[in-house]
Homo-oligomer: A and B are copies of this chain.
Amino acid sequence: MRDHDTEQTPGPGRARRADAERTVRAILAAAERVLSQEPGATMERIAAEAGVARTTVHRRFASREDLVSSLTVLAAQQLEAAVLAGRPDSAPPLVALHEVTAHVLRIKRTWRFAMGVRSDHPEVVRVHTDTRARCVTLFRRARDAGAVRPDVDPDWASRVYYGLIHAAAEDLAEEPAPAELDAAAARVVDTLLTGLGAGDRTTHRAD
């Protein structure tokens, strides 16, 4: 089990001291900032951004791979929390869609780099699988509620949804205000459901 631990802990049963915990957080946050702008940045650069010595980074993360891995796990956990906060399984479909979107947009913006890395860490895989499933379920509920066309492929719907979120996250500020998040989420949901076409929905199907 210890194989899956990415961060280094002092002793077998020992807990980390509070300041060390803070250091770890600082390093992860710094790594996200630096790597999102320069994916190949060195440990030196990350350490500097975090305000610690390079050796300290190596004390907490055995290798560069470990650091990135921890980063993806952290982002995945944040993502899961954001999705769950939107109550995708219990709230009315369209309400849930809006809430989930707003929450995910914030996380996606904050952990831009980490969310873009394909990780095979079991925890990350689990979260992505679960999230995908929740997404499909949500669209199914929306369909049953008559909000989504019956013939829409859930897989395609998910892809489109992810794509729209990605697009919307692009032009968000680094720390968007709640109002901005709401507006962006509304735009995403609106585009997702009605598209950009004019009123007549059959116009372009004439051919």
Residues on A close to B: CB < 8 A?
A: 39-40, 94, 139, 146-150, 152, 156-157, 159-160, 162-164, 166-168, 170-171, 187, 189-199, 201, 203-205
Contact = CB atoms under 8 A, between A and B. Distances in A.
Contacts of A164: 160, 163
Instruction: State the copy count for this chain.
Output: 2
Contacts of A187: 156
B159 A171 contact: yes
Contacts of A167: 159-160, 162-163
Residue from A157, A203, A204 whose CB has the most chain B CB atoms within 10 Å: A204
B189 A192 contact: no
A198 B145 CA distance: 10
Contact of A163 (B148, B163, B193, B195): B163
B160 A170 contact: no
B152 A196 contact: yes
